[in-house]
Amino acid sequence: MDRLTAETKIAELTKRIERHNRLYYEEDRPEISDQEYDQLVRDLQELEAKFPDLAKEDSPTRRVGGQPLPFFEKVVHKTPMLSLGNAFSEEDLRDFDRRVRQAVGNQTVRYVGELKIDGLAVSLRYDNGVFVQGATRGDGTTGEDITQNLRTIRSIPLRLTRPVSLEVRGEAYMSKGAFERLNKEREEKGEALFANPRNSAAGSLRQLDPKIAASRQLDTFIYGIGELQGETVESHSEGLALLEELGFAVNPERRVFDNIDDVIAFIASWTEKRPSLPYEIDGMVIKVDSYAQQEELGFTAKSPRWAIAYKFPAEEAVTVLEGIEVSV
């Protein structure tokens, strides 16, 4: 492709992706599937890699999420809430493992494998064990203050089991059952239906009236620590155990591995078991366990180098991971 064509194509893809970002992150009404969206982003990434000088500073490949809605108070995240790099194949996962091991000088690397819950990222802040503020991710730097809505979610402790001051990150989601009940009710009332549980969770939490969120049966899984005072943890798996001890809902399906082959087998098993879960997942997240190694690896503008999200193919597609053919 010549430079001029690439320039036009980059501008066109950027415009399309920005439109879909707005629909998805700000209006909670996507028009295309996540797989179609991911393909647009990959096309843009490939062109930017071929013509690096045409890649804009504010390209959607370098930015997180969407703009926070103006009618909420803004919350500036002390530690940015980033996105995750994506893997779509076994080869992508092996490349990730190679990059990680190379960056840490070929030390042993342990990975934590987790389900990627399909909901909305939230940040929860506690002062001396008391829940004081909850926010959306927004554009990663600035989110929306949705404390009153988050207070209505039963799995979010209003007081922790110890008077710890910390900020945690997790996913607020709606179970498949709650989503079906909600859409049935809306259908009966002649109201517009939600496209999927993710959008209905996001739409419910970005309502000005907390009674609406309270009626929506939302839930959470907490998967990380943004800031922690007065306690020390050395690894992500220890951090998750601490979060559980403090009273947060932490997904029980997490596992620690000491090689990428076992991570790949774990992903293959969940590709198959995924429909049996009572909530939706759109992939699996793999994180380097050691905080010291995480620090060594650092971040790109958009995502940590110590984690990757494996995205499941579209439901009807067939994938081959670890030599096992799985229909999903």
Residue 308 as a binder of ligand NAD (CB under 6 A): the answer is no
Q: Residue 32 interacts with ligand NAD (CB under 6 A)?
A: yes
Binds ligand NAD (CB under 6 A): choice among 117, 153, 213, 243: 117
Task: Choose the binding region for ligand NAD from 113-121, 126-134, 159-167, 267-275 (rule: CB under 6 A).
Answer: 113-121
Residue placing its CB nearer to ligand NAD in the complex, 199 or 215: 199
User: Quick check: is 211 catalytic?
Assistant: no
Region near ligand NAD per CB under 6 A, out of 80-88, 185-193, 212-220, 259-267: 80-88
Question: What angle separates helix 176-188 from helix 197-205, to the nearest 10 degrees?
Answer: 80
DSSP readout, 243-271?
HHHHT----TT-EEESSHHHHHHHHHHHH
Q: Which amino acid is at 138?
A: G
Nearest to 82, CA basis, from 288, 281, 301: 301
Shortest gap between Cβ of 59 and ligand NAD (angstroms)? 14
| CA dihedral (144, 80, 280, 239) positive or negative | negative
Query: Does the annotation flag 287 for ligand binding?
Result: yes
Strand order in the sheet with 281-288: 86-87, 307-311, 281-288, 111-117, 255-257
Q: Based on the shown chain and the rule CB under 6 A, indicate whether residue 203 belongs to the binding site for ligand NAD.
A: no
- Point out which span in 22-30, 67-75, 235-243, 261-269 binds ligand NAD (CB under 6 A): 22-30
Residues in the chain: 328
> Any known ligand binding at 84?
yes
Residue 83 binds ligand NAD, judged by CB under 6 A: yes
Task: Name the catalytic one among 74, 78, 116, 184.
Answer: 116
Of the candidates 96, 97, 161, the residue with the CA atom closest to the CA atom of residue 129: 161
- Does the annotation place 191 within a ligand binding site? no
- Most distant CA pair in the chain, distance: 61
- Residues at the interface with ligand NAD (CB under 6 A): 20-21, 23-24, 30, 32-34, 37-38, 64-65, 83-84, 86, 114, 116-117, 121, 137, 171, 223, 285, 309
Catalytic residues: 116
